[in-house]
Amino acid sequence: MAAIIASVPVCVSAKASVEVRRNATRAAIPARVNKAVQLSAKASMAGARVQTTAVRATVARAAVVSVSAGYAAPQSKYADELLETVTNMTMPGKGILAMDESNPTCGGRLEALGIENIEENRRRYRDVLLSTPDLGTHCGGAILFDETLYQSASDGRTFVQVLKDHGMYPGIKVDTGLRALANSNGEQWCQGLDQLAERCAAYYEAGARFCKWRTVVSIPAGPTEMAVKEAANGLARYGAIAQANGLVPIIEPEILLDGTHTIEQNFEVASWVWAETFKAMMDQGVMLDRIMLKPSMVAPGADCETKSNADQVAELTLKMLNSRVPPCVPGIMFLSGGLSELDSTLYLNAMNQAPNPWHVSFSYARALQNTVLKTWAGKDENKEAAQKILTRRAIENGQAQMGKFDVTKSETEGASMYVKGYVY
Ligand code: 13P
């Protein structure tokens, strides 16, 4: 596994200017920030996170001026707004509702329940999700598919307005899907860089303030160095373009659950993929304090004979992240990747039993939606019951974000949602 960087010490894109900027940043940190740092050490975990967020925002503002020395210098007229968006989205107890399934994927899930895959039914289903009362209490944003960004709720408000009324940020999937990676070991790459700047600008105009790009890495396929580097470079280029156009990028190299690999093998591959991804992001001037990550949890493959418990998954996932992710990254918003609804919450809860340098939370699709969709089943009379389930799942994951989920009080199902070769 070539080119592993041992750690990423600071979030700047100009290697030679690291010390200069560190000193400048130190000098620019006012006394009240130092006080906040001292206070946060004494505060409760949730309180500490609020302090951390405030400190991070102040440090980031002080550090935005950059000098380039071989690496791209970050530039965006939206720098302040990006910081504000990401800060608000990473408040204690908050995660993200991912509902950006493409039309074929969403349609496939509807059809499995006997609901016809037509635009109106997709809209009705998205209306169930987005018009859930108090959705904004534990979801800082929702990731939408292109079609949904321009649709309206049954009460006539645009979905963008519904989200704003919840105090949530609209997000948008901007990749255009996976394709076969030629000359690889049956691997895939993620498309969508063509006209990405124009599309991001149009999405910003339509109200989106953050976005996601999901590429995948397959452990059984190797993975090959070509596939890992392709994934990293695509994510970095996308991240730079998104930030230049006012959208906080979610960086998502999903390491697929498919396979018989052990948790340790997953750890190795995840460490490699994130090292390459951070190197590529720094090369391309991505502002690391204005992104969110969407990693897979480090877990054994779906067909591995040795299962792991929540503590083991949490330990290896945090070990991997601590060795790769600089503390200036504001949010780590996990995907659920086919884990069961219950496991995804238990694992997140286990990761939040001690303070982390970053906000560690959820950006689940399947683990938030699965039972909701089954309960709704296309019938208006089931809408309220379905929404109650989404509320429960959002509360439980919000509690897990703060390390306070109590499994003995949960009615959440434990069945796995793993689907071999799942496409998004
Ligand atoms: P899952 O939680 O279903 O893995 O969602 C992944 C994703 O990328 C949704 O935006």
pLDDT in tens, 349-389: 999 999 999 999 999 999 999 999 999 999 999 999 999 99
In the structure, what pLDDT confidence band is assigned to residue 56 with cuts at 50, 70 and 90? Answer: low
Rg from Cα positions in the chain: 20
424 lines ligand 1 (CB under 6 A): yes
Query: In this predicted structure, what is the pLDDT of residue 158?
Result: 98
CA of 137 to the centre of ligand 1 (A): 20
- As separate numbers, helices (DSSP H) first and strands (DSSP E) second, the chain gives 15, 10
**Quick check: is 79 in a domain?**
yes
C-alpha–C-alpha distance, residues 106 and 104, integer Å: 6
pLDDT at 182 over 90: yes
367 lines ligand 1 (CB under 6 A): yes
274 lines ligand 1 (CB under 6 A): no
C-alpha–C-alpha distance, residues 59 and 14, integer Å: 17
DSSP state of 296: P
**Quick check: is 388 in a domain?**
yes
Token readout for 84 is 């504000």
214 lines ligand 1 (CB under 6 A): yes
CA of 337 to the centre of ligand 1 (A): 6
**Quick check: is 212 in a domain?**
yes
Other beta carbons within 10 Å of 35: 11
200 lines ligand 1 (CB under 6 A): no
Which ligand 1 atom is the nearest neighbour of the CA of 100? 10
Which residue lies with its CA nearest to atom 5 of ligand 1? 365
Other beta carbons within 10 Å of 362: 30
**310 Cα distance to chain centroid:** 20
The pLDDT of 129-145, averaged and rounded, is 98
**Quick check: is 422 in a domain?**
no
Residues 6 or more apart whose Cβ sits within 8 Å of residue 45: 352, 354, 355, 402, 403
pLDDT at 175 over 60: yes
Which ligand 1 atom is the nearest neighbour of the CA of 366? 3
Between 33 and 295, the higher pLDDT residue: 295
pLDDT at 147 over 90: yes
In the structure, what pLDDT confidence band is assigned to residue 37 with cuts at 50, 70 and 90? Answer: very low
Q: What is the CATH number of the domain that holds 109?
A: 3.20.20.70
**What does 343-394 look like in DSSP terms, one character per residue?**
HHHHHHHHHTSS--SSEEEEEESHHHHHHHHHHHTT-GGGHHHHHHHHHHHH
CA-to-CA dists, residue 299 to 253, 334, 343, 397, angstroms: 15, 13, 11, 19
Query: In this predicted structure, what is the pLDDT of residue 57?
Result: 57
Catalytic residue among 94, 212, 279, 294: 294
Mutate to test the pocket of ligand 1, among 361, 364, 423 (most ligand atoms within 8 A of CB): 364
Which residue lies with its CA nearest to atom 6 of ligand 1? 335
Residues 6 or more apart whose Cβ sits within 8 Å of residue 41: 48
**Quick check: is 30 in a domain?**
yes
Query: In this predicted structure, what is the pLDDT of residue 60?
Result: 54
CA-to-CA dists, residue 395 to 121, 287, 392, angstroms: 27, 31, 5
CA-to-CA dists, residue 274 to 173, 246, 294, angstroms: 21, 24, 11
124 lines ligand 1 (CB under 6 A): no
Among 383, 421, 370, CA closest to 98: 370
Task: Say whether 341 is catalytic.
Answer: no
**Burial letters 103-137, b for 16+ CB under 10 A, else e:** eebbbebbeeeebeeeeebbbbbbbbbbbbeebbb
**Quick check: is 9 in a domain?**
no
Task: Say whether 294 is catalytic.
Answer: yes
Least confident of 40-49, 175-184, 247-256, 411-420: 40-49
Token readout for 14 is 């100009």
pLDDT at 24 over 90: no
**Quick check: is 414 in a domain?**
no
CA of 131 to the centre of ligand 1 (A): 20
328 lines ligand 1 (CB under 6 A): no
For residue 168, the enclosing domain spans 15-409
Name the domain count of the chain: 1
| pTM (two decimals) | 0.85
Which ligand 1 atom is the nearest neighbour of the CA of 254? 8
pLDDT at 237 over 80: yes
Query: In this predicted structure, what is the pLDDT of residue 73?
Result: 73
**Quick check: is 5 in a domain?**
no
Percent of the chain with pLDDT over 70: 81
Burial (CB < 10 A; 0-12, 13-18, 19+), residue 70, is exposed
CA-to-CA dists, residue 292 to 66, 128, 249, 420, angstroms: 21, 26, 6, 27
249 membership: H or E segment, kind and range: strand 248-255
C-alpha–C-alpha distance, residues 155 and 131, integer Å: 9
Residues 6 or more apart whose Cβ sits within 8 Å of residue 265: 219, 301
171 lines ligand 1 (CB under 6 A): no
